[in-house]
Amino acid sequence: MSKENTDLPEKKQKTNEKDRAFGEGFEYTHDNPYHERLGVFEEFVLRDDEAEANAGNWNNKAFNRDAPLHTEIGTGYGHFMIDYTQKNPDVNFIGLDHRFKRSFNLAKRLNSLQHKNFKYLRGRGERLGHIFAESELTKIFYFFPDPWPKTRHHKKRLFQKRFLDEVYKVLKPGGEFLIKTDHDGYFEWMCDVMKEESRFEIIFQSFDLRAEHPEHFLSSFVTKFERIFLEKGIKIKSMIIKSKKES
């Protein structure tokens, strides 16, 4: 925790940390024992700002091979990451989540996989533009993000202009950002944010993915949270936005 913040109430500190996470001077702070425990998986896990040293060099230094670089924000229990990396050994994949214990449990599972075409980052999605360099990524996946349903928390939603600035920066020309959510309110919010966007085009949009597009790639896998929502009969909303960046 930075010195100037120590007198603030805890709630206020958290809000500030999230806002600051986008910026240049941000430093990760924590006293979580899983930070140390994640060190066991140093072959493929990078913690906090360790990942940012690789910006611009993921393929040639971290993976030692040239391949399309993809990332998933909010990997959770890793259902998509595991399925996708093992079915697509020709991509370089980076999973990212900010929860410590969840990250540790996932790292244990990742350690036993056949194809090691991935890295895992314990860090924040807000740091996207610091973890990756200009035009480094081909695809970004964002599935069932925390919806922050209360009006006073909407500003915590990751999908906002400030975040799309980072998405635009790190995606290659024609790069794609693929989204699924259970939450009507967050999906409407995303659609509203997109109305103000001229840097991306929406190339796919559905308010009921599985009924309308059962053959689509986004219907071809089920994440842990998605299964819970499907069992409750909730319709899956989805969108793919494509960068209009010139090559």
Binding site for ligand SAM (CB under 6 A): 73-74, 76-77, 79, 96-99, 102, 124-126, 143-146, 158, 223-226
Report, in Å, the least distance between residue 228 CB and ligand SAM. Answer: 8
Q: Which residue is nearest to ligand SAM (CB)?
A: 76
Q: How far is CA 121 from CA 11, 67, 71, 110, in A?
A: 25, 19, 10, 12
Comparing CA positions, the residue from 162, 180, 216 lying closest to residue 20 is 162
Report, in Å, the least distance between residue 64 CB and ligand SAM. Answer: 26
For residues 216 and 158, the answer to whether their CB atoms sit within 8 Å is no
C-beta of 3 vs 232, nearer to ligand SAM: 232
∠ Cα 82 86 91 (to 5°): 105
Question: What CA–CA distance (Å, rounded) separates 133 from 166?
Answer: 10
Cα-flanking dihedrals φ and ψ of residue 19, to 5°?
-65, -45
C-beta of 54 vs 223, nearer to ligand SAM: 223
Comparing CA positions, the residue from 220, 225, 182, 227 lying closest to residue 83 is 220
Find the catalytic residue in 66, 83, 97, 146. 146
Report, in Å, the least distance between residue 115 CB and ligand SAM. Answer: 20
C-beta of 49 vs 245, nearer to ligand SAM: 49
Report, in Å, the least distance between residue 183 CB and ligand SAM. Answer: 10
DSSP characters over 220-232 = S---HHHHHHHHT
C-beta of 202 vs 228, nearer to ligand SAM: 228
Q: Let me know if 146 is a catalytic residue.
A: yes
Q: Which residues are catalytic?
A: 146
